[in-house]
Amino acid sequence: MILLQLLWSFTKIGFTSFGGLSMIPVISNEMQVNHWMTAEEVSDIVAIAEMTPGPVGLNCATFAGMRTAGLPGAIVSNLGVLMPTLTICAVVAIFFQRFRNSPVMRRVMVGVRPACVGMVAGVTVSLSETSYILNDSISLPGIGIGILSLVLLLKFKVSIPKVIGLSALLGLICFGIF
Amino acid sequence: MERWKTIGRLLLDFMEFGLFTFGGGWSIVAQMQKRYVEEKKILTQEELLDLTSVGRSLPGTMITNVAMLFGYRIAGFWGGVVCVVGMIVPPMAVLSLITLFYYAVRHNPWVMAAMTGVRCAVVPIIGSTLVGMVKGAFRWQPCIAVLAVSFCLYLFWNVNCVWLVVIGAVSGLAISKYMEGKGAETP
């Protein structure tokens, strides 16, 4: 029963959100109505979800599912969040594949591509604010790690997992020891 | 047989991506760019942008949508499903562990320090994809204006990404009509 409730709750969350942080108010509400998490736990899990790999919505699903019904709970909750991907997106994939070379689609994409680059640029800037400003002051070691990573990625073509591992180590040294 | 080999390869690739998507998922785009655009050359910059913008504007989680679109493209429906599953299993495993040790991890200064370090690398990871993306995004000069408008709307007014894609689509049609009117060939 609890598994069905989890599935239904997270299916609702999946369909009413468009990725990223827009999910949080919906998740917060759904968790508290069902008494699966307190408000404080929701904000904790958002913080943890942002630090661990994977998107916030799926991480909240795993957390709420694990706490209420163990691993099966985590699996059905994840499945709930994935519903839109497995239905709407799968259908769109078929049509997109078929029409992506049509003249109309190609014209549409002339504008969508730069809009998407603008979005990624916006994301980069807004993430910088939260990553490099700690306790209201600019974090110099943070910026150092950032510049080093950029050079490793662009100049030396170091792989992303290696860059992440190295920055975790440097974070441990800069923010943990000093 | 060949198809199942491809599907197995996709599963492994996406499990690796899943393990290293920090920062809300946008780094998936960086990982796909490195693996599929630069190394294997089975995807162009333009196509990656197309998958990203379509995936971002559908309901649900962006990275699983992108995984679905890409997997479908390479190996049909099951290819899509495999990419999605590969993508979510590692984060689920990591978070299940964390949940078990929740109270030990929550305010642990060492974990916090390491993760603060990782966050500092996420910005350059996502930022580094911009260099390649810019090359794929500008068919004609007016496209630069679309980029600038979408950047400002996102950053200063928090406009939802769905609207940005809609605005992009309309301007794409308008720009193409204008340029074709001036004698440019159909994109």
Q: Where are the domains of chain A?
A: 2-99, 103-177
d(CA B131, CA B133): 6
pLDDT over 90, % of chain A = 21
pLDDT tens per residue, range B94-136: 888 887 777 777 678 888 888 888 888 888 888 888 887 887 7
Residue in B with minimal Cα distance to A77: B92
The pLDDT of A31-58, averaged and rounded, is 79
Beta-carbon separation of B53 and A112 below 8 A:
yes
DSSP 8-class letter at A20: G
- pLDDT at res. B79: 92
ipTM over 0.90: no
The torsion angles phi and psi of A137, rounded to 5 degrees, stand at -135, 155
Looking at per-residue pLDDT, the higher value among B3 and A19 belongs to B3
Name which of A15-29, A110-124, A150-164 the model is least confident about. Answer: A15-29
- pLDDT at res. B129: 83
pLDDT tens per residue, range A117-153: 888 888 888 888 878 887 778 888 889 999 999 999 8
d(CA A172, CA A154): 24
Q: Which of B25, B53, B117 sits opposite A145 (nearest CB)?
A: B117
Please, which pLDDT band fits residue A31 given cuts at 50, 70 and 90? confident
Inter-residue contact B29 to B136 (CB < 8 Å)? no
Name which of A10-19, A70-79, B89-98 the model is least confident about. Answer: A10-19
- pLDDT at residue A22 greater than cutoff 70: no
- pLDDT at residue B36 greater than cutoff 80: yes
Alpha carbon separation from B58 to A22, A68, A148, B61 (Å, rounded):
13, 29, 35, 8
Q: Where are the alpha helices (DSSP H) in chain A?
A: 2-16, 23-33, 39-51, 56-84, 90-99, 103-132, 140-154, 160-171
The pLDDT of A44-51, averaged and rounded, is 73
* Partners of residue A49 on adjacent β-strands: none
The pLDDT of A15-37, averaged and rounded, is 77
Please, which pLDDT band fits residue A21 given cuts at 50, 70 and 90? low
Best CA proximity match to A118, nearest among B175, B154, B126: B154
> First-to-last CA distance in chain B?
37
- pLDDT at res. B24: 63
The pLDDT of B30-34, averaged and rounded, is 89
Residue in A with minimal Cα distance to B131: A154
On average, the pLDDT of chain B sits at 86
DSSP string over B98-159: HHHTHHHHHT-HHHHHHHHHHHHHHHHHHHHHHHHHHHHH-SSTTHHHHHHHHHHHHHHH--
pLDDT tens per residue, range A69-110: 889 999 999 999 999 889 999 999 998 888 888 888 888 888
- pLDDT at res. A58: 86
Q: Is A155 exposed, middle or buried (0-12, 13-18, 19+ CB in 10 A)?
A: exposed
Distance from CA of A114 to the nearest CA of B (A): 5
Q: Which of A52, A103, A113 sits opposite B186 (nearest CB)?
A: A103
Beta-carbon separation of A150 and B95 below 8 A:
no
Looking at per-residue pLDDT, the higher value among A48 and A102 belongs to A102
The number of angstroms, rounded, from the C-alpha of B185 to the middle of its chain's C-alpha atoms is 30
Write down how long chain B is. Answer: 187
On average, the pLDDT of chain A sits at 85
Tokens representing residue B58 in the block: 């559908």
The number of angstroms, rounded, from the C-alpha of A109 to the middle of its chain's C-alpha atoms is 25
Rounded to two decimals, what is the model's pTM? 0.85
- pLDDT at residue B23 greater than cutoff 70: no
Contacts of B60 in chain A (CB under 8 A): 14-15, 17-19, 81-85, 88-89
Please, which pLDDT band fits residue A19 given cuts at 50, 70 and 90? low
